[in-house]
A and B are shown apart, each in its own frame.
Chain A
Amino acid sequence: MTDFQQSALQLANKQQAATWLQPLREQGAANWSAASWPGRKTEAWKYISLAPLQQQSNLRWGTDADDSAVDSVEQVELDATCLVFVNGRFNAARSSALPAGVVRFSDANAEQQPLIQQHLGKVVDSERHLFAALSNAWVEDGILVYVPRNKKLDKPLYILNVATPEAESAVASQRLLVVLEEGSEAEVIEHFASDAREQNGFVNSLTEVVIGANARLQHYRINLEEENLLHVGGVHVDLHRDARFHGFTLAQGSRLKRIDYQLNMRGEGAHMELNGVYLPRNKQVIDYHTNVEHCVPNCTSNEVFRGIIGDSAKAVFNGRIHIHPKAQKTLAELSNKNLLTSRTAEINTKPELEIYADDVRCAHGATISQLDETSLYYLQSRGISAADATTMLSFGFINELLNQVPEQAIQDYLRPRLSSLFGQASERVGHLTYE
């Protein structure tokens, strides 16, 4: 075990978790201890270094003693149930009342505990996902979203996770479990934010989702964090027969951000769509790994990821599609396009297809390019300055995906914030309305 593994494990001893969570914690601790620390030859971590994490010594739990940072975080304006976490700790004062079906693990009753035990740590494969093992070892609290058969969560659930400036090595662990019974529906928005001050913390966040037959989840994971935060997270989803998962994810900020999406197509007729945008700049590092397991026939998956990498930033996109021998008539698509806006920016993109069935349709592609010169010329030939044209084209590259975001409030929230990343001409883009 490395020093970091050791000291992360010791943190678990400082928690006071309920006994019914102990088996998962112990299993997590065992997986974490047994794992060999990733190095350059570890395929899943090949392009990024975990050194910034290892340099964190004297790990300690972040606190929510000062929650004033929440005030400076602008929230998405929508009619939703809002849950606020500060450094991984639930902040009741700033949260809405929990609706039926939404409960903290620590408040789970005798009926809910078995439900959590049944699914928590079971959707994710913690032997393959190092930080999921750590998250299991650290399970103390979290949120369960349970929607019974043929019901719909009344309002979207908006979970705001705020990291505040603390002394170095402050740790936050976040956990979400969504269980949708047959025919049910929910919309869940996870928003990770930090205020503008220097961050040195480490956030480990894990979301597990079980979508029952014919149920549907609209899920957002928005990571708009400041420069120095370290963030490792995952969204792991089981889709049963005719289930639907519609996801959107966005990442900006952090000197090390790694997000895994694991979609397990377990029931026939299941369908998933995932759009993602990453915008690292300065010296940020953002790594998305997606993995779609097509285990059964007649499922469809469609992933579109786009990145703009600037300055000396680095991005990784690894999109794997695994079509099992039984999964005939699978339709799987994956597209990853990247725009590099500086000579020192770096992208490592790798689509991976493993197909063991013979009657499937699978398309994948990855591109890396600079801005299209003809488009630039076209804009300039209409009097638009080179700087404005560059801004418009860069923003347009990701705006195509923003336009597809079903929740208008999220479009309205993200558009001006993202356009402002593209330079001073940002007032040019994203603000015009038509009505």
Chain B
Amino acid sequence: MLNISDLYGKVEEKDILKGLSIDVKPGEVHAIMGPNGSGKSTLGNILSGRPGYEATAGSVTFKGQDLLEMGTEERAREGLFLAFQYPVEIPGVSNMEFLKAAVDAKRKHHAQSDLSSVDFLKLARETCKRVDLDASFLKRGVNEGFSGGEKKRNEIMQMMLLEPDLCILDETDSGLDIDALQIVANGVNAMRDGNRSFLVVTHYQRLLDYIIPDYVHVLAGGRIVKSGDKSLALELEAKGYGWLENEVA
């Protein structure tokens, strides 16, 4: 699904990723944990094609294609989805218009016809319900005035509508209360179907009580310094990140 090999990346002339490698197979859930400043968000941003985030060396293959050669929107249409750590508020653009444009763009890319407004509205409403968002959120501006939890649920709703092959969750759990966290985790778990892959980037082990990963990687200093199964997350929780950084040094 996703193969990252010896990836180097920089943001505004600052080298952040320094030889990162991960191989995610279809259906797998990989958690990436790490201290602040280790490059977690940079990874998500480079993978989704955010302007200003540049891969300087190494390769990323997504479903057999060179991901780094693809434009931002093309990556999305091909099935890569990044749930933002800080979803953007866009007043004046209704959530509904935004979602339909996104779904239409993907369908067009895959030579499917546009959904009618009526069909789309029905689908959007059902999806709202799945993440416990009131359908009135569809009328509002994109994330406009949404609470932190509502924004994150809106991200998961977009993910459900777009049915990506690879979901990257960038600290989706940060700042969430337990109830909201459960809704988000339930949404993610409902989408695990044996083929869809997940890259769950988080600072806290707590999320992994709800989304059980197949693998846990520790990112420090721009590369993976340790990998293991879910027990590694618990070990990190108990010991903190300090011991790993020392180990690396």
Residues of A whose CB lies within 8 Å of any CB of B are 373-375, 377-386, 388, 392-393, 395-400, 403, 428-430, 432-434
Contacts and interface: CB of A to CB of B under 8 A. Distances in A.
A434 B138 contact: yes
Given A377-B50, A380-B73, 13 more contacts: A379-B101, A380-B72, A382-B98, A382-B101, A382-B105, A382-B162, A383-B76, A383-B105, A400-B92, A403-B92, A429-B93, A432-B97, A434-B139
A433 B96 CA distance: 9
Contact of A397 (B87, B92, B98, B139): B92
A385 B130 CA distance: 28
Interface residues of B, number: 36
Nearest to B159: A382
A430 B94 CA distance: 9
Given A380-B76, A432-B117, A400 B141 contact: yes
A125 B91 CA distance: 39
B51 A383 contact: no
B141 A434 contact: no
B57 interface: no
Contacts of B225: none
Contact of A383 (B139, B142, B162): B162
Q: Is the interface of B mostly helix, strand, loop or mixed?
A: helix
Contacts of B98: 379, 382, 384, 392
Contacts of B106: 383
A432 B94 contact: yes
18 contacts: A377-B50, A379-B98, A379-B102, A381-B82, A382-B98, A382-B162, A384-B73, A384-B102, A385-B105, A388-B105, A392-B93, A396-B91, A398-B92, A399-B93, A400-B92, A403-B92, A428-B97, A432-B96
Interface in B88-116: 88, 90-94, 96-98, 100-102, 105-106, 109
A378 B105 contact: no
B153 interface: no
B215 interface: no
A383 B97 contact: no
A382 B158 contact: yes
A433 to B, nearest CB: 7
Nearest to A399: B92
Interface string B62-79: 000000000111011100
Nearest to A394: B92
A388 B101 contact: yes
A9 to B, nearest CB: 46
Contacts of A430: 97
A384 to B, nearest CB: 5
Given A373-B51, A428-B97, A434-B139, A385 B73 contact: yes
B90 A377 contact: no
A58 B108 CA distance: 57
Contacts of A396: 90-93, 141
Output the residue of B97, B139, B141 with the most chain A CB within 10 A.
Answer: B97
B202 interface: no
A381 B76 contact: yes
Contact of A395 (B51, B92, B96, B141): B92
B50 A428 contact: no
A379 B75 CA distance: 12
B84 interface: yes
A385 B77 CA distance: 10
Output the residue of A374, A392, A432 with the most chain B CB within 10 A.
Answer: A432
B48 interface: yes
Given A373-B51, A400-B92, A434-B139, A378 B97 contact: no
Contacts of A373: 51
Contact of A393 (B71, B84, B90): B90
A379 B93 CA distance: 11
Nearest to A379: B98
Interface string B111-145: 00000010001000000000000000011011000
A398 B92 CA distance: 7
Contacts of B222: none
Given A377-B50, A393-B90, A400-B91, A432 B100 contact: yes
B84 A392 contact: no
A32 to B, nearest CB: 42
Contacts of A399: 92-93
Contacts of A383: 73, 76-77, 102, 105-106, 109, 162
B221 interface: no
B49 interface: yes
B137 to A, nearest CB: 11
Given A383-B76, A396-B141, A428 B101 contact: yes
Nearest to A425: B101
Nearest to A385: B73
Contacts of A374: 88
Nearest to A403: B92
A270 B82 CA distance: 50
